Structures are given as C-alpha cells and as structure tokens.
Structure 1
C-alpha cells in the first residue's frame, strides 16, 4: 500500500483527490493538510511514502514544503499552475514529479506509483516547455526583490524589507528588468511570476 499525504489549500480539491485516490487498490490517503506547514510532522506520524503538494498555498508553499520533506518521503507536485519555471524550481527543491490538476485520475495514480518506486513523473508537455524556456535567469536576491516589487512597493520599502541599501535594490531591479526584457520593476515582477520564476 502506498501511503499518501495531500497538501492543498482548496478543501474541495483536496477532498476530491483523496476520494479518487482511495478508489485505487494500492493507494491510501492517510493525511490531508491545507498548507505546507506541518507536512514534515504528518509524514513522520503517518509513515507517508508520497506527498502530493500544491505550489501556491498560504504560509509554507509547495516549493518550501518540498525542501522540508527532503529525505522523509517522495514529493509529487500537483498544481493548477503548469508553468515551466515552477517545474524547474520544484525539481531543484527535490520533487520527484510534477503534474497539472487537469490530468486524468489514472495518470495521477500512475505518477504516484512511479514516484513511490523511485522514478520521476513529469507532465510531458510541461517538460518540453521547460526545455524550450531554459533555466530561470534570475538570482535568488532578484527573486526576493521582485516578490516585493510586484505589489508596487517603492525601492525604499523593498530595501527596508530586505535590509539592503536602495542602491543595491536598484542594481538588482535593473538586472531583473534586463533579464525579463521589460520596462520597469512591476512589469518585470509580473513576467517573472507568469513564468513561475518567483
């Protein structure tokens, strides 16, 4: 029996996935959470083999939760947001698979089996898109700055949030604007978010 944890902030999606997966003879959903927070404890408590994680959740997101589960269980990202950047970040964080939520339930069950057996399961269309898109060109610091800039925050505010000088923030923003081929920091942040780089 493959013991599965589901972390998704949408209760209906979480319950639906659990109901579908519990119909499989060799898969049992043993834990459900609304955030990545608490995943590591739940994995230990329930002897989870595979964690199904959404990416965008309040509190701890799926990427951070994947990193927290390193060495504890296999991780399969199941998300609405099929973005090449998310795929790359998830795999770098240690995920063994990446599926979009509109995949057929049989395909998801098969991906769980594959991941539980030590393999990788990645949506083929998204994998091809990720190859075409190339790697995320933004540095970690540029991503931090753009996450704050997306709300329209001023350079001074961003500098205060990240304990940087305004000049350093401007340099990173200039670099990010160039890498995203945009005209300003808000556009750069939106492009980076749309590509799944943030």
Structure 2
C-alpha cells in the first residue's frame, strides 16, 4: 500500500471534495470503522453493490445503536452463487436506497477513521470504484485486515503454526459468534468482535 503522503504527490491523485476533506487529515482518536459489502458477483471489477454495513468500535465497545445498514435498490443480475451466500434477490432490494445515496451516507459515516474488515481489500476495491465514478477520489483512510492481525499474533511465537484463515475459522478460534453470516451487518458485528478480541490480546501481552 502506498503511504498517503506519497500518494498525494502522484500525478493521478485527486483529493476528496470539500465535504469530505477531513478524510485526508491524520486520525488521532481511538475509534475504527468496521465495514462489509455484499455484491452481485465475486468480482471486484464487475460486482455491483447490493448492501453495505458499518459500525464504529471505540476501545472494547461496538456502537451498535449508530450502525449503518443499507440495502441498495439495484437491478443487477446476480450470480446464483452470490445469492446462495447473501440471499439478496432482486425483489429483496426493491425498498433499498440508490447506490449514490448509500456511498454518500457511508462517506459521512467513515470520516477519517481507520477502516477494518475481513477480506477488506475486496470491499475497498468495490467502494473505490463507486467513489471514483461519483466523486473522482479514492478512500485515503488507513485499512486494517483482521485476518492479517490474527496471523501476526498467532505466529508471533510459533511461526510454522497452521491456521484456518476462513471467517468461520477465525471466529471459532477467537470464540466469537458468527452472527447472520453473509449479511453485511452480521459480518460486521462478528468482525468487530474479532477486532476487539485481537486488540485486547495485544494489549495484555505487549509492554
């Protein structure tokens, strides 16, 4: 990942519009945003956004009362394999919001806080595709992959340790409930609990 200070000097770089200019500012707080997207197919270049959810985690607390949970009113033809995962059929999306409205609300929600997720690079690619088309910039936030954090901690003392890096594998090992698997909000809550377990583990062991 290119550091933000260097990315800003690239000829192709475009800053956020004034409404979201804070996103370029260094974050100095103690909150993160955990997010997840569900899409019409498992392709970061072609998949259309069907739902997105996000929560703020502050310390060891998930701020569920302020969670963002949006279904997109999309006519996208959905890969049958994707439907088997997230169960979002076309008729389930009729009362959703427009993709542009969802992106706008998500950007307001995120601000300049770090963004965490499971397989977060996929979500990042999907969201940046929409943001570039609508507002001509990309998310400048710091991104955290929860499975990478898990691997670093598990292999800290036993480098050759075999690990199950599936979502269910991490949840089982960290004793985290899998909540409404493959719904955006359910995955966000479980991922937020993984983050809390992993950062609590780190705090207890690091000087």
| Higher-Rg member (1/2) | 1
Using CA pairs below 8 Å that are at least 6 residues apart, which structure has the higher relative contact order?
Answer: 2
TM-score, with length taken from structure 2: 0.24
TM-score (norm 1): 0.24
